[in-house]
């Protein structure tokens, strides 16, 4: 049994959501600030990532070097990333060090120096990261798939565009920070061993006087979808396939997600069995649910040598299309068994839980306990999933390939 999830909303809108895991020695946090690449100005694609990089280069009483030293000395295992809608700072450490770690991150999001003297170093870091993706064909194909499938700005690459990264000035960073970093929409997830009363008081003290900002307005424009090929010098051809699904907050989400679990997950799932095990067409093949607040999609990936790429695309698409004929209950049983294990094992990971409850809050306005998720999964039946699939068969595919040769897409593309 897990402990009840606790939450506290500050007057300025910032949300603290926390799950006690008293059997652990660690505590972890996930701080979601409501600024992501969808908020980047069109000619400054990558600005949110750039701002995040700059925010970590000195904040509050600490310069850049001191900040990293102090986090290291607190043993904070940390990461930061930018999604469509969030800048995410997360970390895990020994429970006793959590308050000090949180205080440093409060400085990072509220009082970063954003110093001109660090601008060129930050720019070089961003450009290096952009260049690194150019060398990762499996990642690159999914970046292009996302860009072509989701309406702009939802499909933008988090690493930005080279030209924009080269053009970003320190004023852009200051302006972006000033407009977008604020308490409303900021969610702090904490999990592990902590005292709720002390945590709540600390969060009030750290963030209570953070002045609210205006919410961001986003204007969508349609995505190209269809099929696109990107020539790339490589042994293998990378294949990305996307189709529309429902977002996490949608009542049908778990049915859609159960169907994807039959397609991909364990080694007995359909894609792994048909594409890799029976035919030996590739090493890596998978499908995953992608969710934004209001948009959902399923993304599939396969990477294979060029001479077998056409067959791999055909077999993969065939399996995806075949979903509409329904799934079997023994397939669903395996999905459920896998999820049940995963949920139980989350109790061994404070960082996993802090991320889950923060994400839940963004999508649902509340966090689901492990028991609640388990009940939702347990309630799934093959009949209910099949009814969903009959109404929403996978179709209108967006397809992207990356490799020496263009392929033919036989099944319906959008």
Partner 1 sequence: MEFRKAVLDNGLEIVAECNPQGHSAAVGFFVNTGARDETDEVSGVSHFLEHMAFKGTARRTADDVNRQFDEMGAQYNAFTSEENTVFFAAVLPEQQHRAVELLADILRPALRKEDFDTEKQVILEEIQMYEDQPPFGADEKCRAAHFGPHPLGRSVLGTLESVRGLSVEAMRGYLQRRYSPANVVLAAAGRIDFDGLVADAKQCCGPWNRVKDGRTVQPAPRRHVFRAIRKPAATQQYVVQLAAGPAAADPDRYAAKLLATVVGDDTGSRLYWELVDPGLAEQATLGHNEYEGAGQFVTYLSCNPEQAAENLKRVDAIYRRVAAEGITAAELTQAKNKVMSRVVLSGERARGRLFAVGTDWIQRREYRSVGDDLKAVAALTLDDVAAVLRKYPLVPCTTVTIGPLENVNPP
Nearer to partner 1, 211 or 267 (CB): 267
With binding defined as CB under 8 A, does residue 301 bind partner 1? Answer: no
With binding defined as CB under 8 A, does residue 273 bind partner 1? Answer: yes
Q: Are 21 and 193 in contact (CB under 8 A)?
A: yes
Residue 76, burial from CB neighbour count under 10 angstroms (0-12, 13-18, 19+): buried
Spatial distance between the Cα atoms of 188 and 372, rounded to a whole number of angstroms: 21
Q: Which residue has the tokens 């701080």?
A: 31
Q: Which residue has the tokens 């979601």?
A: 32
Which range of residues in 4-12, 41-49, 72-80, 384-392 is near partner 1 by CB under 8 A?
72-80
Q: What is the largest CA-CA distance in the chain?
A: 62
String of contacts with partner 1 for each residue 166-205, x by CB under 8 A: ----------------------------------------
With binding defined as CB under 8 A, does residue 127 bind partner 1? Answer: yes
Spatial distance between the Cα atoms of 73 and 144, rounded to a whole number of angstroms: 39
Q: How far is the CB of 303 from partner 1 (least distance, A)?
A: 6
Q: Which residue has the tokens 């028991």?
A: 371
Nearer to partner 1, 237 or 398 (CB): 237
For residue 153, whether the previous peptide bond is cis, meaning omega lies within 30 degrees of 0, is yes
User: Which of 11, 42, 132, 169 is the binder for partner 1 (CB under 8 A)?
Assistant: 132
Backbone phi and psi for residue 272, each to the nearest 5 degrees, phi listed first: -60, -45
With binding defined as CB under 8 A, does residue 325 bind partner 1? Answer: no
How far does CA 324 lie from the centroid of its chain? 27
Which range of residues in 195-203, 208-216, 318-326, 339-347 is near partner 1 by CB under 8 A?
339-347
With binding defined as CB under 8 A, does residue 284 bind partner 1? Answer: yes
Nearer to partner 1, 53 or 84 (CB): 53
Spatial distance between the Cα atoms of 321 and 143, rounded to a whole number of angstroms: 23
Which range of residues in 11-19, 201-209, 251-259, 280-288 is near partner 1 by CB under 8 A?
280-288
Nearer to partner 1, 72 or 396 (CB): 72
Q: How far is the CB of 128 from partner 1 (least distance, A)?
A: 4
Nearer to partner 1, 116 or 344 (CB): 344
Q: What token pair was written down for 10?
A: 């500050």
Q: How far is the CB of 295 from partner 1 (least distance, A)?
A: 30
DSSP symbol at 410: -
Q: How far is the CB of 224 from partner 1 (least distance, A)?
A: 25
Q: Which residue has the tokens 């990936």?
A: 301
Nearer to partner 1, 132 or 294 (CB): 132
Nearer to partner 1, 126 or 145 (CB): 126
Which range of residues in 290-298, 314-322, 345-353, 377-385 is near partner 1 by CB under 8 A?
345-353
Q: What token pair was written down for 40?
A: 């980047």
User: Which of 342, 369, 384, 414 is the binder for partner 1 (CB under 8 A)?
Assistant: 342
How far does CA 336 lie from the centroid of its chain? 23
Spatial distance between the Cα atoms of 271 and 257, rounded to a whole number of angstroms: 15
Which range of residues in 212-220, 286-294, 341-349, 381-389 is near partner 1 by CB under 8 A?
341-349
- Which has the closest alpha carbon to 219: 123, 152, 307, 291? 152
With binding defined as CB under 8 A, does residue 303 bind partner 1? Answer: yes
With binding defined as CB under 8 A, does residue 36 bind partner 1? Answer: no
Spatial distance between the Cα atoms of 165 and 46, rounded to a whole number of angstroms: 6
Nearer to partner 1, 94 or 387 (CB): 94
With binding defined as CB under 8 A, does residue 75 bind partner 1? Answer: yes
Q: Give the SS3 label for residue 34.
A: coil
- Which has the closest alpha carbon to 236: 311, 140, 308, 287? 308
């Amino acid at each position: 049994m897990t402990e009840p999830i606790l939450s506290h909303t500050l007057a300025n809108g910032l949300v603290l959501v926390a799950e006690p895991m008293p059997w652990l020695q660690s505590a972890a946090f996930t701080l979601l600030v409501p600024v992501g690449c969808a908020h980047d100005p069109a000619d400054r694609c990558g600005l949110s990532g750039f701002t995040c990089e700059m925010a970590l280069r000195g904040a509050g009483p600490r310069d850049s070097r001191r900040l990293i030293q102090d986090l290291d000395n607190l043993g904070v295992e940390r990461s930061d990333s930018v999604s469509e809608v969030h800048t995410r700072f997360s970390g895990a450490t020994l429970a006793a060090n959590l308050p000090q770690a949180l205080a440093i991150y409060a400085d990072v999001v509220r009082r970063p120096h954003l110093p001109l003297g660090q601008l060129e170093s930050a720019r070089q870091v961003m450009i290096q990261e952009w260049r690194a993706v150019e060398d990762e064909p499996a990642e690159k194909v999914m970046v292009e798939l996302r860009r072509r499938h989701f309406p702009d700005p939802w499909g933008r690459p988090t690493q930005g565009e080279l030209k924009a990264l080269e053009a970003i000035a320190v004023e852009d960073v200051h302006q972006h920070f000033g407009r977008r970093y604020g308490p409303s929409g900021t969610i702090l997830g904490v999990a592990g061993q902590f005292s709720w009363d002390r945590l709540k008081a600390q969060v009030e003290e750290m963030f209570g006087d953070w002045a609210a900002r205006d919410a961001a307005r986003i204007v969508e424009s349609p995505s190209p979808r269809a099929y696109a090929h990107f020539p790339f010098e490589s042994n293998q051809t990378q294949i990305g396939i996307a189709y529309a699904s429902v977002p996490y907050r949608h009542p049908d989400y778990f049915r859609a997600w159960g169907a994807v679990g039959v397609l991909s997950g364990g080694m007995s799932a359909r894609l792994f069995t048909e594409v890799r095990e029976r035919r030996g067409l590739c090493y890596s093949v998978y499908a995953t649910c992608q969710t934004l607040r209001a948009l959902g999609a399923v993304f599939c990936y396969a990477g294979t040598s060029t001479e077998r790429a056409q067959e791999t695309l055909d077999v993969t698409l065939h399996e995806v299309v075949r979903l509409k004929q329904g799934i079997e209950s023994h397939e669903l049983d395996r999905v459920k068994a896998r999820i049940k294990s995963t949920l139980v094992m989350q109790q061994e990971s404070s960082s996993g839980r802090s991320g889950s409850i923060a994400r839940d809050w963004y999508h649902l306005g509340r966090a689901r306990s492990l028991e609640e998720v388990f009940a939702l999964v347990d309630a799934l039946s093959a009949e209910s999933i099949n009814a969903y699939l009959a109404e929403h068969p996978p179709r209108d595919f967006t397809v992207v390939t990356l490799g020496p040769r263009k392929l033919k897409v036989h099944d319906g593309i959008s």
